[in-house]
Each structure stands twice: as C-alpha cells, then as structure tokens.
Amino acid sequence: MDIHVVRAGETVSSVAARYGVPAGILAGVNGIAPDAPLAVGQTLVVRRPRELHTVASGESVYSIALRYGLSARTLYQNNPALGGRSALYPGQTLVIAYDDTPTRTLAVNAYSYPFIRGGLLDAALPYLTYLTPFTYGINADGTLLPLADEWLLAAAGQYRTAALMHLSTLTEEGRFDNARSTLILEDADAQDALVQSILETVQARHYFGLDVDFEYVLPEQREAYAAFITRLREALNPLGCPVVVALAPKTSAAQRGLLYEAHDYALLGAAANAVFLMTYEWGYTYGPPMAVAPLTQVRAVLDYALTVVAPEKIFMGIPLYGYDWPLPFVSGETRAESLSPVQAVERALRHDIAIQYDAAAQAPYYHYTDRGGREHAVWFEDARSIEAKLRLADEYHLQGVGYWNLTRPFPQNWAVLASLFDIETLL
C-alpha cells in the first residue's frame, strides 16, 4: 500500500497511471468516482492488484470466492466498490488479491446507532470482528432501556460479524447520568435485576458478548464499579460471552476529574476480559480546534495503560469523524460542527483550500473562510492519520481497535485497515 498526497493538477487517472494501477480500482478503493475532482493535500490509498477476475454471466460473489478459495468477506474487503452488496454484472473486474497481503491478525470493533443507513452498514460489516449497537441504557428503576437493534443484529449475522451488547448509563434523554450508575452500584436489588436482564437479552438476541460504558461514575464508587464488572464477567463467561469495559483516556493513575477517577485501569483491566480505551475527543464540540485523536496523546494513554493491562486485552479507540470550528474560538460559546472525513475533503474542495498535515498530531487540517466572511478551522482523519494509529496498535501488539462510529462514511479507513491486517473472524 502507498498513500499518495494529491498535488495541484492531478486527477484519479493521472495518479493511477503513476502507480500503474487501473483508475477504476484506485477510485473504488477510495470510495470516489473515477472522474471525481481532487483537493490539493487529499490522500489516495493505492493498492496494487496481484490477481483480477472478470465476472461472467451467472457468477456471484459466493461462487467467485469459492473458486479462488476465499471467503465472501475477503472478496468484499478486496472490492470496496461493491459496498458489501452481492450485485454483480458481466464484464465487471474484481480484485482477487493485492500485493500487500497482510500477515498479522487484528480484532476490529465498531459502534453504530440504529439509524445508520443500510448501505453504510453493509460497506463496513465485512471489515469487522464485532459490531456494537449503541446502546442499552438504564431506566430510573434500574431496568434496561430498550434498543431497536434487531436489524443491526440481522445484518451482522449475514456478514459473519459478531455482535456485542452495549450497556451504558445513558438516560431516556440521551445523557450519561451517574445517578443511574449509583443506583446499580449501591442498590443490591437493582443490580440483581439488571444482571438478570442482561443475561436474558444476551441469550435472547444471541449477542456474542457485552460492552459496558459507565461514564462519570463517582470517584468513591471506583471499587464497586470494578466489582460489578467482575460480577458480569463471572455471569457471562460460562456462556462463552466476553465482557469488555470502556475506559476514559488516562495517562496516570492519579489523573483527576469525574470522567477519570472511577475508571481504575488496574482494577477494571483485571475485572473484564478486555478494555476499550476511548482515545479520542481531545478535539471536541465545545473545545478549542485541534485533532480529535492526536497521536502523541493516544500514545501517552497506551504507555500508561500497558503498565497495568496486558496488550492482548486492549482495544484502542479510533474516530471516524472530524470537526469544523467557527473562529475565533470562544470558550463556552463556540460549538464545532461534526463532519465525516469525506465531508471535510468536499469542503476543502468547495472552498479551493489545500489540506495541510500536522506531523506531531498526525492529523490533517485546514482553514477556510465561509461566504459570510467568517474563518473556520477543520481537523479530521485521512489515510495517513489512520495508518499512523493502526501502526501504533501493531507496535504495541494490541488485541484490536474500536471505531466510533459507523454513521460517518470514511471508505479510506477500511482500505488502509485491510492492507495492514487480516481481520479476525469469530463466526
């Protein structure tokens, strides 16, 4: 795999010719049209096909995969232009193998809201070990808030993607509330009822495991939270179901703040089968303009986490989005707009702005002026920033990565992932 940074005057065809790859395949890998305009500074993922197949009448994804000894998932991974869909036409060219065949296996999780578009979900599922529908919250009486997850679970099953039930302290209003965690951690009857509901839901909906995300837990409930995770693991592991716990991004055990103090990496790392480090949101809606997941900060969290949690138990979080901040930034007033990496590139193109790259943060950014004369700062992810994060996961020998979240399209992410890793399949 190569990552090409577009220069002035370049086109998909000229870049394809430079690397000796078909323009249609280069476009498909990057999720763009062969005649799509390119922004200066935009990245293109270049994968060189080693073996191609021309579709004949009557052939299907499954028959072609069988012919070459591949799984349908692998054929979809090699041909992102299919979008995970099985429709083929005679004469269509499919990639059977690339020169950059990966050798290391990585577990890949991704979170999704139920309102995700079907095409976006289908395109992502072949690249996932786990899909985690977001979220089962907790009612004021301790019972589970329902989640319309049926279609997500059905889709995951079609692509041999395991599903994790997601439990959080999200309320009916969609906010994290430590009153809900307090209820569960301090009321034995409420905890008993919740654990029973979780067991019933996991079994009835055939979830592979459980992902727990209690945020803003009171500091004095640090040990009680770890004990609750231990109880869940002891209840679910006999069913073959692992328990994952989400952790706020800490760089030391002494880190202060309501988001961090009850997330004891050592205790929770021992209590759960795996941990998910939420290594993103340094740049966020109400904060000053900066990268969402600067590599220096992500590395610092991993350096601390690995002092108390084994690497084979760690999932590293990766964002699939960016932000657009109107300037000047005013603390408490400025609100950034969330946008996909695709939208970020389109915005740079529309305003004829060259995309820059911050080598320290390992993230792309640019500034532009809107029609009203107001300046904006945009930070997002591209193929370079994703490669840097995935290579960090490899460097630290982590079990896997977890993406937040699938509702923002980012085709290049999957191209980079598939070029670097063989994605673990459990079903």
Q: Is the dihedral of CA 54, 59, 61, 65 positive or negative?
A: negative
Q: Which two tokens stand for residue 76?
A: 């979809």
For the annotated catalytic residues, the residue numbers are 215
Amino acid at 294: P
- 27-31, 99-103, 130-134, range with the lowest pLDDT: 99-103
pLDDT for res 101: 82
Q: Which two tokens stand for residue 232?
A: 């869940």
Nearest to 174 by CA among 201, 132, 134, 207: 134
Enumerate the β-bridge partners of residue 366: 378
Mean of the per-residue pLDDT values of the chain: 97
Phi-psi region of 363 (alpha: psi -120 to 50; beta: other; left: phi over 0): beta
- What is the C-alpha separation between 257 and 393, in angstroms, rounded? 27
Neighbours of 90 (CB within 10 A): 10
Inter-CA distances, 386 with 216, 317, 389, Å = 29, 11, 5
pLDDT for res 171: 87
Enumerate the β-bridge partners of residue 247: 277
Q: Is the pLDDT of residue 404 over 90?
A: yes
Per the CB < 8 A criterion, the answer to whether 80 and 411 are in contact is yes
- Confidence class for position 406, pLDDT limits 50, 70, 90: very high
The answer for residues whose C-beta is within 8 angstroms of residue 200's C-beta and 6 or more apart is none
Q: Is the pLDDT of residue 294 over 90?
A: yes
Give the tens place of pLDDT for each residue, 109-161: 999 999 999 899 999 999 999 999 999 999 888 889 999 999 999 999 999 99
| Strands (E) located in 104-215 | 104-112, 130-133, 162-168, 209-213
Per the CB < 8 A criterion, the answer to whether 277 and 317 are in contact is yes
Chain position carrying tokens 């232009």? 81
Inter-CA distances, 40 with 109, 239, 352, 356, 379, Å = 32, 52, 8, 9, 16
- What is the C-alpha separation between 51 and 255, in angstroms, rounded? 52
Q: Is the pLDDT of residue 173 over 90?
A: no
The answer for residues whose C-beta is within 8 angstroms of residue 373's C-beta and 6 or more apart is none
- What is the C-alpha separation between 405 and 179, in angstroms, rounded? 26
- What is the C-alpha separation between 343 and 417, in angstroms, rounded? 20
Give the tens place of pLDDT for each residue, 346-394: 999 999 999 999 999 999 999 999 999 999 999 999 999 999 999 999 9
- What is the C-alpha separation between 127 and 320, in angstroms, rounded? 14
pLDDT for res 114: 96
- Confidence class for position 327, pLDDT limits 50, 70, 90: very high
pLDDT for res 18: 98
- What is the C-alpha separation between 288 and 284, in angstroms, rounded? 8
pLDDT for res 157: 96
If you ran DSSP here, which 8-state letter would residue 80 be given?
Answer: G
- What is the C-alpha separation between 427 and 417, in angstroms, rounded? 20
Report how many helices (DSSP H) and strands (DSSP E) the chain contains, helices first.
Answer: 14, 18
The answer for residues whose C-beta is within 8 angstroms of residue 49's C-beta and 6 or more apart is 21, 22, 25, 95, 96, 97, 98, 99
